[in-house]
Amino acid sequence: MQKDGTDILLNQLAVQLKTAKTRFIYHYIWQSIPLLITLSGLVFLFTNNVYFTCFTALCVTIVRVTSLFVLKLLKRFNLDNYLLYLNQQFSELEHSAQLLSRHAQLNPLQQLQKDKIQSKLQTLFQYKSPNLTPMYSNNRSILASLLVSLIIVGLVFVDPVSRLSSTFANHDDTSTTKPDAKTAIIWQETTITPPSYTGLASQTQNNLDLATIANSKITWQFKFNHSAGDKYIHISTSQAVNTAEDVAIDAKNKGIKLEKRQDGVFSITHTFLHSSVYYIRDDNGLIGGVHSVMITQDIAPKIRILTPKQTISTFAKSSSPVLEAEVHISDDFGISNVDILASVAKGSGEAVKFRDQVFSFDEVEMDNSSNKTSGVHKKTWNLIELGMEPGDELYFTIRAQDNKLPINQTARSETKIIKWLEDEQDLLMSEGMLIDFIPEYFKSQRQIIIETQQLIADTSFLSEEQFTLTSRSLGHAQSDLKTKYGQYLGDEFDDGSGNHGGDSDAGVPEVHVKDGDHNDDLDKHDDTPQRALGSHENNQANSHVADRASPHTDDHHDPHHADNDSGHDDKSGYQQAIETFGHNHADTDVGVMGTQSPKALMKQAIAHMWEAELYLQLSDPIKALPYEELALKYLNQAKKAERIYVKRLGFEPPPVTESRRYQGDLSDILTYEQQQTVPKNDQEIENIRLLLSRLNNLSQPVTNADNELLESIKQQFNREAASRPALMVFNATIERIQLSKSFELADCQACIPELQSELWRQLPAPVAEPNLPQQKYRGNNPIMQRYADFLNQQTRPQ
C-alpha cells in the first residue's frame, strides 16, 4: 500500500515536473523574442531586404534552440532537483522530500520521515498549492519585445514610401542584380520645343547631346534600372538660369531633382538661354555620361543695301533727283517690322535745319512669304516730293526688327547720304566726307579672318545648312568691307578678281586702275597703271595695261559683271593650276615699303577680298582664308606706307651735342629709384598651355591644382560659347574629367584627343621668351681662361 502511495505520489511529482519543464520552455522562448526582434529589425533597417531578415530570424531561432540543448538546460529538470525545490518552497516538508526518490532500504527513522512527508505532500497536491512548480515571469520579456518592436517599426516608418517601395521593388526585381549595382539609364527621350516665334516644330530625339535655339524648352524623360532613390540633373553653365517651374535644388547642390511619375518615368523641363553641359546623377554618383547643350543665339536681322552702293550719292542741280534704293533684309526666323529713318538737312553752316521722318518701303518682295525671313525692299526717293531743293541733303538708315520674343532685336544699316548739289561743280570725291558711323555688324578684316578660322574649326559640329549660312554671311561681310575700302579708291577698278593674264609678270597681280573720278568724259584720268613693285618691265606693262584698260571702261560700275568677266573663263582648271603651282601670292615681292604706293597696296588688298568673298559665297572658307589673310597684310602695309610717307616729310632736327644736352633748370629734377615686380599677363593663354602640357601625362590622377585649371578653362569656353556653341562639347569632356577625377576616360576614347586639338587651335602665335644660352663648359675653367687670354692678345690693338 505504502508502496502504491509512493508510486502515485511519484507519478504526481512527474506530472508536476513535466509542467515545470514546459513552463521553462515557454519562458525561454519569451526571453528569445526581444533578441530576435532586435537583430531582425537591425538587419532589415540596414539591408532593406525581407529575405535576409527572415533568414536572420531563422538563424537566431536555431541558435537559441540549439543552445537549449547544448547548455543542457532541460536536464536540470529531474526528480531530485524538483524534490529539492519542493524542500525550499515548503518548510513542512522538513527538507526530507528527497526520501521519496530513494528506493534503497531505509532505516526505520527514514521510513517514518518518508511516510510523514508523503502524507504532507499528498495534502499539497490535493489542495493544489501554488509554487508546486516554478513560476517564470515573462513580463519583462513581453515588455522588452514590445519596446523593441516599437523602436524598429518607428525606424522603418520614418521614410515609409521609399522603404516600402524599395522592399517591394526588391521583391519585384527578378534580376540577379546585387543591392549595390550601378544605376543606368535604360530608356531616354528628349523633346526640344523651340520658342514659338521661330516657327520651328518640336522635335523628339534619343540623343542627349543637344543643339537648339536660345530660349528653347527641353524636356527629358528617363527610365532607370534602379528607380529607387532620387535622381537629379546637374546643369553647369556660367549663366545658369532657373525658370519659375524649376524644382527646388537639393540642399547638397546635387542639381535639380527629377520628377517621378506613376509609370516610373523621371522627367524634367528646363529652358536654356546659354550653352551648357549637364549630367544625370543620383545619390551614388554619376549616371551615364556628361552631355552638352549647344545654344545658338537668335541673330539680329542683317541689312544689305544693294543700291545705292556708295555712301554718298550726288545729283547735279539740273538732273532729276530720283534714287531707287534697294535693300535686302534677312533674319534667321522672321522680320516683324522694317522702316526707314530719314533726316532731311536744309541750309548750310549754322543755319542748317534737320527734319526727321520715318518712311516705309514702297515695295517688298519676300523670298519666302510664309516665313518672312528675307526679302528685298524697294524705295524710290524723289527729292522734290520730299520738299528738298538743290543744296539739301537726305540721310537715311534702314531699321529692321526681328520677331524674337519677348524682346525683339533691332538692326540698323549704315547711313546713306543723298546730296542734291547746289552749283554746277565737279562731282566730289567720295573721300570728301567721312562717315563716322559704322553699323554694329560691320566687321573688320581681322574679325572676318577670326570668324572664318572658327567656322573651319567648327565644320564637323555644324549642320550643312548652318555652315552654308555662316559662310555666306561672312561673304557678305567681306563684300561690305571691300565696298567700303573701294570707296576710298573711287571704286573705279573693275578687275577685282586679280585676273592674271598670260602677259603679266609671274608673281605680280595685275590690277587695272583708274585714279580720279567716275566721269569718263572728263580728261582727268590718271592712266598710269598701279602695279605692284617687283615688276621689272613696267614700261611694257604700262602699254599693255593701257590697251587693256579701254575694254573695261564701261564695266567699272558693275563689279559683278567684272567678276563674271575675269578669272572664271578658266573652266579647265588651267588657271588655278598656274596659280597654285606657279604663281604664289604669298611670295609676291612688294618691295621696300618706302617706295610703294599705298593705293596700289589697297587695290591689291581689295583684289584678294574679291577672291575671299567668292569662296565664302561658295561655302569654301578653307580656300577663302589665305586670300583674307593676304588682304589684311596688304591693308596693314598700306597703312604703314601712309605713315612712312608722312614721316619722310617730317622735320628732322639736328642732333643735340653732349655739351648742349640737359642745360635747363635742373633744380626740380629728382633722382629716384623704383622697384616693380611684373606679373605675367595673358593668363588665359597660359592656362591653355598648362592644360596641354598636363594632358601629356594622363596616368596621373586629377589634383586640386588640375581641378582649378580645368575650371578656369571651362569658364573660358563658357564665355566663348556665345559665338561658338561647339565649345560646349569640350566643356562636357572637362566635366567628365572632373567627375571621374581622372584624365583617362574609358567611355570616350576620342574626347581627350579632341580637347587637345581644340586647345592647340586656340593657341596664338607664341611670344618668344628671353633665355640664356647654354654652353658645355664653365668660364672659370682654367683651360678656357687661358684660351680667352690668348684671344685677347690676338685682338689687342697694335
- Residues of the shown chain interacting with other proteins in the complex, contacts defined by CB under 8 A: 592-594, 633, 636-637, 640, 644, 652, 655, 658, 661-662, 666, 669-681, 689, 692-693, 696-699, 753, 756-757, 760-761, 763, 765-779, 781, 783-785, 788-789, 791-792, 794-795, 797
Name which of 348 and 447 has its Cβ closer to other proteins.
447
Instruction: Please give the radius of gyration of the chain, using alpha carbons only, rounded to the nearest integer.
Output: 49
Q: Give the separation between CA 65 and CA 67, rounded to whole angstroms.
A: 5
**Nearer CB in complex with other proteins: 180/665:** 665
Shorter beta-carbon distance to other proteins: residue 359 or 645: 645
Asked if residue 140 lies in contact with residue 35, where contact means CB atoms within 8 angstroms, the answer is no
Please say which residue, 102 or 786, places its beta carbon nearer to other proteins.
Answer: 786
For residue 340 the three cell numbers come to 526707314
Which of residues 176 and 697 has its CB atom nearest to other proteins in the complex?
697
End-to-end, the C-alpha distance of the chain in Å comes to: 161
Burial class (CB in 10 A: 0-12, 13-18, 19+), 693: exposed
CB of 764 to other proteins, least distance (A): 8
Residue 277, phi-psi category: left (phi > 0), alpha (psi -120 to 50), beta (remainder): beta
Looking at the Cβ atoms of 94 and 642, the one nearer to other proteins is 642
Closest separation in Å from C-beta 276 to other proteins: 26
Minimal distance in Å, beta carbon 326 to other proteins?
Answer: 38
DSSP 615-649: HHHTT-HHHHHHHHHHHHHHHHHHHHHHHHHHHHH
The set of cell numbers assigned to 229 is 532613390
Name 218's bridge partners. Answer: 192, 270
Distance CA 139, CA 573 (A): 108
Quote the least distance from Cβ 627 to other proteins, whole Å.
17
Cβ–Cβ under 8 Å, residues 522 and 553: no
CB of 325 to other proteins, least distance (A): 38
Q: Is 418:383 a contact under the CB 8 Å cutoff?
A: yes
For residue 378, give the 3-state DSSP assignment: strand
Q: How far is the CB of 703 from other proteins (least distance, A)?
A: 15
Smallest distance, other proteins to C-beta of residue 723, A: 22
Smallest gap, in angstroms, from Cβ of residue 709 to other proteins?
A: 14
- Cβ closest to other proteins, residue 538 vs residue 785: 785
Contact present, 403 and 299 (Cβ < 8 Å): no
What minimum distance in Å lies between the beta carbon of 734 and other proteins? 16
Task: Report the half-sphere exposure of 373 (CA within 13 A, side-chain side).
Answer: 12
| Amino acid of residue 494 | D
Nearer to other proteins, 522 or 791 (CB): 791
- Residue bearing cell 570668324: 451
Least Å distance, CB 417 to other proteins, is 33
Cell of 93: 516538508
* C-alpha cell belonging to residue 296: 545658338
d(CA 688, CA 733): 15
Cα separation, 310 vs 487, in Å, equals 7
Q: Do the beta carbons of residue 412 and residue 439 sit within 8 Å?
A: yes
3-state class of 293 per DSSP? Answer: strand
Q: Within a 10 A sphere around the Cβ of 763, how many other Cβ atoms?
A: 11
Minimum CB separation from other proteins for residue 693, in Å? Answer: 4
Query: Smallest distance, Å, CB 444 to other proteins?
Result: 13
Compute the distance between CA of residue 629 and CA of residue 621 in angstroms, rounded to an integer: 12
Angle (CA) 435 440 444, round 5°: 80
**Nearer residue to other proteins within complex by CB, 300 or 641:** 641
**Least spacing, CB of residue 657 vs other proteins, in Å:** 9
CB of 740 to other proteins, least distance (A): 17
CB closer to other proteins, 22 vs 703: 703
CB nearer to other proteins: pick between 349 and 782: 782
User: Which of 442, 549, 420, 543 lies closest to 487 in space, CA to CA?
Assistant: 442
Q: Which is nearer to other proteins, 463 or 795 (CB)?
A: 795
Residue in the structure block whose three cell numbers are 546659354: 274
Residue with smaller CB distance to other proteins, 353 or 661:
661
Q: Toward other proteins, which CB reaches closer, 502 or 679?
A: 679
Only one residue has cell 556628361, namely: 290
Amino acid, res. 347: G
